[in-house]
Structure 1
């Protein structure tokens, strides 16, 4: 999984509420069994929708940050929605609220989902327009707008640690519990040597 520390670039805004995973990644594409190329399918059925046009323009300009409306990613639990957003170039999604499973899928796939109410703190990022720059610093847990205004955000310590180190769930377990794993394996080699034929002379 890619590490995330600082993400800088223009934002893409999608203020609509209740954008579900079927809008993000239409169900008829679930037959595709690879992640490669899914980015071009993100919001596929909205490509001609006028209210989505500014977001698509910002995305075409290389926007790595999506600023969404409330309850973003609600609906079904399809992980492909996150795969498509990531493949399209989004590394950070900011919204007042998320579908719970969608937010969990973001964490497991290296996308930083930041929950920030539109009324909180400074105008960053909800006062920005499509294409305006924003800096997201995960280490400091701050957003910095083009005028230098700073707004804090909060994510769980476990998520922050995983994204800063580029750990998926397995890599995190290995990193944090390596000594325990090695001790367990050493005990098994003694107690059940037949499980380790490669150890035999």
Structure 2
């Protein structure tokens, strides 16, 4: 026994399915798109993000939001935040790496100089954060800048000293990362 559908119902069903497919494809496409950098935020929004940086529960969220903003004040806010962190505190060391990744994501004219000066000077944990920022620029942003080579070699020499002193701050993973980045930038094996 065959059931016959009127032609109007078939056409209506086809139109409904086409509309459903197009709506779903637009929805899926919008989910797959990367978040775009916003324009300059309002003063209130910027102040709210700056306040969020002071609360441990919201620091990572604030850093991620700040890194998406196109505002010259963001770079200064994050760098002063990094300088205020206590490297003796494990949570501060973790959030410092997130802050350096945010700096690298901003990638303005001061980013490279800040990362290079941070990996050359200062506390070893700050150097670890700067290394992660440089790694992000090289691997994610495609910045194969030869200016990173000498600071990375200097960083390896600092790590070698820590290793010889059996310093608990020495981390072999960062040593391997620096070697791989140097090899990636030079195109040859690093000894």
State the TM-score, normalizing by the size of structure 1: 0.28
State the TM-score, normalizing by the size of structure 2: 0.29
Judging by fraction of residues, say which structure has more strand. Answer: 1
Higher relative contact order (CA 8 A, sep 6+): 1
Instruction: Return the index of the structure with the highest Cα Rg.
Output: 2
